[in-house]
Amino acid sequence: MSDSTSLRFASSWYCPFCQRVWIALLEKGIPFKYEEIDPYNKTEEFLKLNPRGLVPVLIHDDKIIYESAVCMEYIDEAWPQKPKIMMEQPYDKAQVRIWGDYAASKIIPLFFAILKSDPEKLGETQKSFVENTGGFVKAMSPTGKFFMGDTFSFVDMMLLPWMQRLPVLKHYKSFEIPSDLDWYPRFQKWLTACLNRESVKPTLVEIDKLIPGFDKYVKK
């Protein structure tokens, strides 16, 4: 088992990619040192850790790991104690990776696309976002609260930060996921359960504080 006292977590408080990793660390119960990074005023020391200048970054025994999904997998492998956020059985491991990738490639880019859309393209982008989110929800276990049923896992953490930020889309584009969709109750059950998870609560920031950070993405 890895020595967790030597783990540093370079993060930014408002970043949804960092939030994924933060949740994973708390869910695993791993002690770490949190280091706040200002992405608009990066130090030379930080750029030596990640020349791309992006957070999150894990520094573990002088080993440097970045890219949020990679960080989460590293956490689960370096500290193999339960809970296993990547699941234990091979098929379940495959499922959380498949649907985690789906969230990363089919839903999250559309979140930003809605903010950036021209008025004439906005409706089409919103429709795709709803359809792809519906595909994710319909793939959830029909039992339990989370994607994999009763187990809070990697796949939940991959998407949750953006679903927490749905009010950002309402603020800038007057957009909400329609509540009359057949999958909406399951979505709400999932979202409520995730937001009430003890490992998630410390990572939550009031939406009024998060909204201004998205202003640079918005098509005026």
Per residue in 52-72, pLDDT (tens digit) is 889 999 999 989 999 999 999
Longest dimension (CA), the chain: 54
Q: Are 155 and 147 in contact (CB under 8 A)?
A: yes
Model pTM score = 0.95
Per residue in 10-34, pLDDT (tens digit) is 999 999 999 999 999 999 999 999 9
Predicted pLDDT at 5: 62
Find the mean pLDDT for residues 171-179.
97
Cis peptide, bond prior to residue 56, ω within 30 of zero = yes
What is the SS3 assignment for 118? Answer: coil
Predicted pLDDT at 50: 87
Distance between CA atoms of residues 144 and 123, nearest Å: 33
Domains of the chain: 4-78 (3.40.30.10), 90-217 (1.20.1050.10)
